[in-house]
Amino acid sequence: MCNPTAGKVSSISDKNQPESPRTRIFLDLFSVKTFQKNPGSDKLDPLHCHGSPSHVSVSLLTEAKSLFTLAFPIAFTALVLYLRSVVSMLFLGRLGDLELAAGSFAIAFANITGYSVLSGLALGMEPLCSQAFGAHRFKLLSITLHRTVVFLLICSLPISLLWLNVGKISVYLHQDPDIARLARIYLLFSLSDLFTNSFLHPIRIYLRAQGIVHPVTLASLAGAVFHLPANFFLVSYLRLGLAGVSLASAVSNLFVLFFLVVYVWVSGLHAPTWTDPTTRDCFSGWQPLLRLAGPSCVSVCLEWWWYEIMIVLCGLLVNPRSTVAAMGVLIQTTSLLYVFPSSLGFAVSTRVGNELGANRPKTAKLAASVAIHTYIYIYSFRNWDKEAKKAQALTCLGNVEGVAGAAVDDGESDEAEPLIRITVLY
């Protein structure tokens, strides 16, 4: 099971399954019409559901419930992590403009060179784990976890070298020397985060692939409770300043990892799928993981970098301390917008992987369809005029009625409306 070909995505499902349905699953979502008109009336009927209306509704509601059962705890966990970042920014702001600017630049540099890379590489194990769990190949699920941890630890070594030389790199990028000097101090005390995240990301995916999300939520809550007094003790009591904020964040993440591992081990949640790691298993059969980790890393990095790079560009302006600090606060605020869409994305990725691994491509297609139509419903029925007025009040811009009017006409087809209505009944 641990040979290089055993972990391939195509081998997780039954080998006797025809190839054509798998290759057309995601294509059908966009190339085939979902609804057709009933000749006897003006109503629209789903093309892929030939059963009774009640059977269709039950299938949709069941799948929606499965998705939201995963998505809601993931979203709550993301909100808890967001609150932790807000606490860190508040303590940086209390230290002064220079410390806030340096902390914001250090966080942006860490996100660009470290956190985004580790997060993207770890996502390469998600299709392998979710499909392995659906196919009841539990040993492959556990071995993929071990391989990913080793892989991330190896990748952390060159990242740590970049963090150690952030001062020279910042000066080369024409950043303020004082900001570069303090940013190096911040990242020096954050080096342990690379080790922590090399374990946290794979463990989260390993549990999520099995539909287990509450341990991560509980661990994140415990870390948030620990984070506030840690900042008070290190920053206000010991007066470590910028280094105290960085150290508090690193220690909080280490506490989350410790809490999560102890909780999973004591509760026995790992027992059904756990396999003790061996040197042969951990250092062989990496081809499927590497083949998926590369594109996943590029996707995540591009999504993160176009935001974080603005902080680097702000350092080139006339007054870099104020602009970098303000942009850092802005990016931390706007990251809240991604909590709910990303949570639903993680949930549907898990559901699709489980169903493909169990050789049920139609259910996987239904899960993806429910998620897509949920997105359409959320953004099609939003009161854009009200949102535009909020934006006008927050940004003090001029007339935005034209933007609001353009947003209302989003060009969505009325053919999607019946399934959208059914989806939100849950």
pLDDT value for 20: 42
Q: Is residue 113 part of a domain?
A: yes
Residues 331 and 387 in one domain: no
pLDDT value for 25: 35
Residues 95 and 208 in one domain: yes
Residues 93 and 240 in one domain: yes
Residues 392 and 306 in one domain: no
pLDDT value for 387: 53
Distance CA 2, CA 139 (A): 9
Residues 90 and 177 in one domain: yes
Residues 80 and 175 in one domain: yes
pLDDT value for 16: 45
pLDDT value for 31: 36
Q: Which of 285, 317, 337 is the last residue of a domain?
A: 337
Q: What is the Cα Rg of the chain in Å?
A: 24
Q: Is residue 342 part of a domain?
A: no
pLDDT value for 93: 92
pLDDT value for 411: 39
Its pTM stands at 0.76
Residue ranges making up the domain that contains 103: 76-337
Q: Is residue 353 part of a domain?
A: no
Residues 385 and 326 in one domain: no
Q: Is residue 116 part of a domain?
A: yes
Q: Is residue 366 part of a domain?
A: no
Residues 104 and 224 in one domain: yes
Q: Is residue 250 part of a domain?
A: yes
The 3-class SS string of the chain reads CCCCCCCCHHHCCCCCCCHHHHHHHHHHHHHCCCEEECCCCCCEEECCCCCCHHHHHHHHHHHHHHHHHHHHHHHHHHHHHHHHHHHHHHHHHHHCHHHHHHHHHHHHHHHHHHHHHHHHHHHHHHHHHHHHHHCCCHHHHHHHHHHHHHHHHHHHHHHHHHHHCHHHHHHHCCCCHHHHHHHHHHHHCCCHHHHHHHHHHHHHHHHHCCCCCHHHHHHHHHHHHHHHHHHHHHHHHCCCCHHHHHHHHHHHHHHHHHHHHHHHHHHCCCCCCCCCCCHHHHCCCCHHHHHHHHHHHHHHHHHHHHHHHHHHHHCCCCCHHHHHHHHHHHHHHHHHHHHHHHHHHHHHHHHHHHHHHCCCHHHHHHHHHHHHHHHHHHHHCCCHHHHHHHHHHHHCCCCCHHHHHHHHCCCCCHHHHHHHHHHCCC
Q: Is residue 214 part of a domain?
A: yes
pLDDT value for 380: 67
Model confidence pLDDT, tens digit, residues 314-371: 988 888 888 888 888 888 888 888 888 889 899 999 999 999 999 999 989 998 988 8
pLDDT value for 393: 53
Residues 316 and 198 in one domain: yes
pLDDT value for 47: 44
Q: Tokens at residue 203, please? A: 């463990």
Q: For the chain, what is the domain count?
A: 2
Residues 282 and 413 in one domain: no
Q: pLDDT tens per residue, the chain (426 residues)? A: 444 444 434 444 444 444 444 433 333 333 334 444 445 544 444 444 444 555 667 778 888 888 989 999 999 999 999 999 999 999 999 999 999 999 999 999 999 999 999 999 999 999 999 999 999 999 999 999 999 999 999 999 999 999 999 999 998 989 999 999 999 999 999 999 999 999 999 999 999 999 999 999 999 999 999 999 999 999 999 999 999 999 999 999 999 999 999 999 999 999 999 999 988 888 988 999 999 999 999 999 998 888 788 888 898 888 888 888 888 888 888 888 888 888 989 999 999 999 999 999 998 999 898 888 887 877 665 565 665 555 445 434 333 333 333 333 443 333 333 332 222 222
Q: Which of 304, 337, 370 is the last residue of a domain?
A: 337
Residues 186 and 98 in one domain: yes
Residues 131 and 277 in one domain: yes
Q: Is residue 368 part of a domain?
A: no
Distance CA 343, CA 332 (A): 18
